[in-house]
Amino acid sequence: MRPLPGALGVAAAAALWLLLLLLPRTRADEHEHTYQDKEEVVLWMNTVGPYHNRQETYKYFSLPFCVGSKKSISHYHETLGEALQGVELEFSGLDIKFKDDVMPATYCEIDLDKEKRDAFVYAIKNHYWYQMYIDDLPIWGIVGEADENGEDYYLWTYKKLEIGFNGNRIVDVNLTSEGKVKLVPNTKIQMSYSVKWKKSDVKFEDRFDKYLDPSFFQHRIHWFSIFNSFMMVIFLVGLVSMILMRTLRKDYARYSKEEEMDDMDRDLGDEYGWKQVHGDVFRPSSHPLIFSSLIGSGCQIFAVSLIVIIVAMIEDLYTERGSMLSTAIFVYAATSPVNGYFGGSLYARQGVSFLFRKEMDKADVYWGIPYPSYGVWHCLLHQFHSHLLPCFKSHSFWNNGGRLLHLFFCYSSSKSCWYNTWPKSVRFMEPAVIVCLGGILPFGSIFIEMYFIFTSFWAYKIYYVYGFMMLVLVILCIVTVCVTIVCTYFLLNAEDYRWQWTSFLSAASTAIYVYMYSFYYYFFKTKMYGLFQTSFYFGYMAVFSTALGIMCGAIGYMGTSAFVRKIYTNVKID
Ligand SMILES: *[C@@H]1O[C@H](CO)[C@@H](O)[C@H](O)[C@H]1NC(C)=O
């Protein structure tokens, strides 16, 4: 009776998903990226922030910089992803025209009082850099410099822009900061700029290449790590299939031999092993609601990762500000049905189907597990007036939108499995050990890639080797499934039937290792300091690890449940 709505749900979800994925593609109205001679070229001021934490950003004009005299500018759109990343472009007021050189000229004056001086000194002490855009090309410059004894502070006041053009397109921008001026209270500081246009041979399609860093993302290291993980995969798959083939065949042989003995013999015989729990394996897990919400979320996160990586491989998403994040958010909203379908059907299969649509309302509480942590940041960010503040508000919009879809597709086929009315008393093996050990191998297969991903997130590197990321994701899936199957086999053999949570947690414990790795990364690879940066870093990493853990857990559970169903359907139930 139920499979029909389930199938309909999936079909409708697929259609909706396609629709939503196509939506962001249709907005190509921003810039043509072509200019006529003397046409206005806009220099956008973006953010300013400490060099050592790329994610902490403030508005450029939160520092008391002055604005140029030009006031009117052409219309500009912001995308959602830009807003979420804290990109909020403001016009610099500089007069720049295509192929029109500007001799060094003062564009404005800063009236430096004590307060403004302190602001600059603080920024210089913390190695603040600012970021600007010309025709979507990012430009970075340093705010100022301190002398060795740290008493005098200097501001760079002269921006020397060199812009390369190829035909009617801008293909290259270089910024040189000059004109060091000492910060003395109650003086006037003149800000100046010059623009030089140069013919360039760089092709428009290749203009982002200079921002990529092939020597950092060395392909050799990647191949090496992939090769390494691949060996591990082969080894693991071999191991798993060997264990299962041999022991399962032996087990089946033993069990069927026992069946031929008469009842008397069997009562005396020592039946042991996984078959003993056949009456209990399909018992619902404890806390079925939380469990199915986690599995649903994990499936969704997996779908999002997969789709975003594929899209990123096809289109070079890094060339457009925030497009990566926009895509991820759209895909996240569009894949909510995946969450609803897997979570809902699992919940229904746990035998509580008649209530479950009402219960799914409650599931949203768990579904939004990462959200409370945003709340904590919200306070912190408010405290520090960070530039990112407004962006967190739009999260609730996506949360609610997704929730609607999610509830809508919570139909499923409910096929409850038979299980004993009274649970068998278990000889508990220590699942905690299994859980802790389970994450090591999956972590081992991804940690080299983690280094590159962390570095591109926290430092000024642009990640562009999505092909490798895809390979690593595939390897991660295989390793996770293999490891959890082995873990579950041992668990069931010890006649402990509580495999659902164990399989989920043993795969999810990868996250613990990733989080531990992030500590190492923090202390040895970044130069962040202070309460704000530290909480910022560990908060983001906690959310990242949690998401990764839920994803791995769901993958592990899915693989294991297929395995469990397979071995127990071959057993004759007496
Ligand atoms: C920018 O700097 C690079 C490296 O120094 C140079 O190759 C390129 O020609 C410069 N571009 C312009 C437009 O000056």
Look at residue 334 in the predicted model and tell me its pLDDT. 80
Cβ(90)–Cβ(61) below 8 Å: yes
Look at residues 492, 517, 509 and name the one whose alpha carbon lies nearest to residue 556. Answer: 509
**Cβ 427 under 6 angstroms from ligand 1:** no
SS3 of residue 310 by DSSP: helix
Tokens matching residue 536: 């910022």
Backbone angles phi and psi of 140, in degrees to 5: -115, 145
Nearest-CA residue for ligand 1 atom 6 is 174
Look at residues 45, 81, 40 and name the one whose alpha carbon lies nearest to residue 61. Answer: 45
Ligand 1 midpoint to CA 198 (Å): 9
Cα 447 from chain centroid (whole Å): 15
CA atoms within 13 A on the CB side of 492: 30
- Closest atom, ligand 1, to C-alpha of 198: 13
Strand-pair category, 153-166 with 187-199: parallel
Strand locations in 439-555, DSSP E?
none
Cα 472 from chain centroid (whole Å): 14
**What span, in angstroms and rounded, lies between the C-alpha atoms of 535 and 522?**
11
Task: State pLDDT tens for residues 316-374.
Answer: 777 666 778 778 888 887 888 788 788 878 877 776 544 444 445 444 444 444 444 44
Look at residue 572 in the predicted model and tell me its pLDDT. 57
**What span, in angstroms and rounded, lies between the C-alpha atoms of 530 and 220?**
36
- Among 137, 172, 194, name the best residue to mutate to test ligand 1's pocket (greatest count of ligand atoms within 8 A of Cβ): 172
The residue ranges of every structural domain in the chain are: 7-24+277-418+435-569, 40-209
Ligand 1 midpoint to CA 555 (Å): 48
Q: Which residues are CB-contacts of 425 (< 8 A; sequence separation ≥ 6)? A: none
Number of separate helices (H) and strands (E) present in the chain: 18, 10
- Among 135, 174, 175, 196, name the best residue to mutate to test ligand 1's pocket (greatest count of ligand atoms within 8 A of Cβ): 174
Q: Which residues are CB-contacts of 99 (< 8 A; sequence separation ≥ 6)? A: 37, 38, 165, 197
**What span, in angstroms and rounded, lies between the C-alpha atoms of 440 and 449?**
15
Question: What amino acid occupies position 469?
Answer: M
Look at residue 331 in the predicted model and tell me its pLDDT. 85
- Closest atom, ligand 1, to C-alpha of 174: 1
Ligand 1 midpoint to CA 175 (Å): 9
Q: How many residues does the chain have?
A: 574
Tell me, letter by letter, the H, E, C secondary structure of 370-412: CHHHHHHHHHHHHHHCCCCHHHHHHHHHHHHHHHHHHHHCCCC
Inter-axis angle of helices 336-347 and 389-408, nearest 10 = 50
**What span, in angstroms and rounded, lies between the C-alpha atoms of 248 and 204?**
60
Ligand 1 midpoint to CA 174 (Å): 6
Q: How far is CA 83 from CA 5, 315, 321, 483, 509, in A?
A: 38, 21, 10, 40, 33
Look at residues 402, 409, 431, 407 and name the one whose alpha carbon lies nearest to residue 500. Answer: 431
pTM for the predicted model, two decimal places: 0.75
**Cβ 137 under 6 angstroms from ligand 1:** no
Average pLDDT per block of 10 residues along the chain, 574 residues long: 47 58 43 82 88 85 88 62 68 88 92 91 92 88 87 92 92 92 90 94 88 81 84 86 79 70 49 70 80 90 94 79 78 81 79 49 46 44 45 44 49 44 54 86 90 87 87 93 90 83 94 96 87 89 94 95 83 56
Does an H or E element contain 254, and which? helix 249-260
